[in-house]
Structure 1
């Protein structure tokens, strides 16, 4: 999936790994922390600890990015 970051949302990132999503959620999230953001952080960390499947983190990250209005394109398979 692709998200827009930066002061003007002009830097587009392709996020294709859970570790990358976790880094963005923990260190570079451009919006105030919301319920879906927290859920995505937890989902990514659970995957990185081997406690959950990648699909759960992906779904949570997409929902958080949509809530923060930084999602550039939706996955056609969702």
Structure 2
């Protein structure tokens, strides 16, 4: 019974190598999606870090006041 169920689910009328190819394709798509999600999260944190570094640099150079720094820092936190 179990073998009949599994053969119905995984049988596309393909031979063994073709079934393995489809399985590897699905695995590759899954790994690719996970990779993109992680990459987007890392890039977002790097952008926020670089924006904060630029803001600190502007404060150090005297281009903005402490109050402007606090306001912009709050905007970046959101």
Q: TM class, shorter-chain normalised?
A: under 0.3
More strand by share: 1
Q: TM-score, normalised by structure 2?
A: 0.28
Which fold has the larger relative contact order, with Cα–Cα distance below 8 Å and residues 6 or more apart in sequence? 1
Q: TM-score, normalised by structure 1?
A: 0.28
Structure number with greater Rg is 2
